[in-house]
């Protein structure tokens, strides 16, 4: 049986790909032009950037170690804010999960509320609560608590919706009420994921708490504000290095715990 010798492979048309890329590039360039994001600004201000970079070295390590008390306050803010946020996220995430709150009139408004919470940036929350509660760490804790609700509830309710329905159907068949259904059927299935999301949120909150002091919410951010206000960029670099080391340690510990949970 003879075989064709000169087979020609027809490549699919690339028109769609090129059109999509052209559209994306056009949107990016139009956005940059609209907000006047001119890359030449960096080149024009390079002298100022170079001056600040040279003033950062060597970093003030003595100031870095004097910031330990403020750093511990930052970690405490993140820890308390994450804990309160996790507790407040629990009822919200069950109301958002469509397999727990089956009525559309319950889970849709709960999701809208959750989206509203997630829309407000943590820095804006800190500025608002600092104006209401005073310029102290408590304002930062309240801001981080609300910020944590948005992250933990969003990630957790999606995990609840993906659980195995078998145990829930068995409990329903033997007459379990809604509370028993959640406590013995839902929570055991999502507890590892929920704990993992809480640890992940704690990592984020440590970074967020480090800058909340810029709006007067306490923590190491206050020292950032003071150092930049006095143009002590060597102290700023010392604080950046200190924050970097602490975040690395927390990331490592959190990663190990999450690896054991999931």
Residue-wise pLDDT for 186-229, tens only, equals 888 888 889 889 988 988 888 888 777 777 667 788 888 888 88
For the chain, the C-alpha Rg in angstroms (whole number) is 26
Residue pLDDT, tens place only, 81-93: 999 999 999 999 9
Mean pLDDT of the chain: 85
Pick the more confident residue, 175 or 76. 76
Please write the tens of the pLDDT for every residue from 29-46. 999 898 888 888 888 888
> What is the structure's pLDDT at 262?
63
Average pLDDT of span 163-175:
81
- The CA distance from 218 to 81, in Å, is 13
pLDDT (0 to 100) of residue 7: 59
DSSP symbol at 176: -
Distance CA 157, CA 85 (A): 15
236/165 Cα distance (integer angstroms) = 52
Rounded distance, CA 112 to CA 105, Å?
Answer: 11
Helix 122-133 vs helix 137-161: angle between axes, to the nearest 10 degrees? 140
pLDDT score recorded for residue 85: 93
Closest to 118 measured CA to CA, from 162, 77, 157, 79: 157
pLDDT of residue 84: 93
Q: pLDDT at position 4, please?
A: 54
pTM: 0.79
pLDDT tens digits, one per residue of 111-126: 998 888 888 888 888 8
Note the pLDDT of residue 61.
83
Q: What is the number of alpha carbons within 13 Å of residue 14 lying toward its C-beta?
A: 5
Contact 238, 149 (CB under 8 A): no
Neighbours of 185 (CB within 10 A): 21
Strands (E), the chain: none
**Residue-level pLDDT at 45:** 85
Dihedral, CA atoms, 208, 213, 214, 215, nearest 10 degrees?
A: 100
Peptide bond between residue 148 and the one before it cis (omega within 30 degrees of 0):
no
pLDDT at residue number 89 = 92
Phi-psi region of 103 (alpha: psi -120 to 50; beta: other; left: phi over 0): beta
Q: In this predicted structure, which of 3-7, 25-29, 96-100, 169-173 has the lowest mean pLDDT?
A: 3-7
């Amino acid at each position: 049986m003879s075989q064709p010798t000169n087979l020609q492979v027809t490549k699919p048309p690339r028109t769609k790909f090129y059109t999509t890329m052209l559209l994306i590039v056009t949107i990016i360039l139009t956005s940059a032009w609209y907000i006047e994001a001119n890359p030449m600004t960096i080149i024009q201000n390079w002298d100022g950037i170079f001056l600040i970079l040279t003033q950062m070295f060597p970093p003030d390590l003595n100031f870095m170690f004097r910031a330990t008390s403020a750093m511990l306050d930052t970690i405490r803010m993140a820890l308390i804010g994450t804990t309160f946020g996790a507790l407040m996220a629990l009822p919200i995430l069950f109301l958002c999960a469509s397999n727990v709150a089956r009525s559309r009139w319950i889970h849709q408004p709960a999701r809208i509320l959750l989206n509203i919470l997630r829309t407000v940036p943590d820095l804006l929350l800190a500025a608002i609560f600092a104006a209401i509660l005073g310029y102290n760490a408590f304002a930062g804790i309240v801001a981080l608590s609300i910020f944590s609700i948005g992250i933990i509830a969003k990630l957790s309710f999606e995990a609840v919706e993906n659980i195995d329905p078998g145990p829930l159907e068995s409990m329903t068949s033997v007459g379990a009420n809604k509370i028993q259904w959640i406590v013995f059927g839902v929570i055991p299935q999502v507890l590892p994921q929920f704990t993992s999301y809480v640890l992940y949120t704690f990592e984020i909150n440590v970074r967020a708490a480090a800058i909340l002091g810029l709006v007067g919410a306490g923590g190491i951010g206050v020292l950032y504000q003071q150092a930049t206000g006095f143009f002590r960029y060597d102290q700023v670099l010392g604080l950046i290095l200190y924050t970097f080391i602490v975040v690395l340690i927390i990331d490592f510990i959190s990663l190990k715990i999450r690896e054991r949970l999931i």
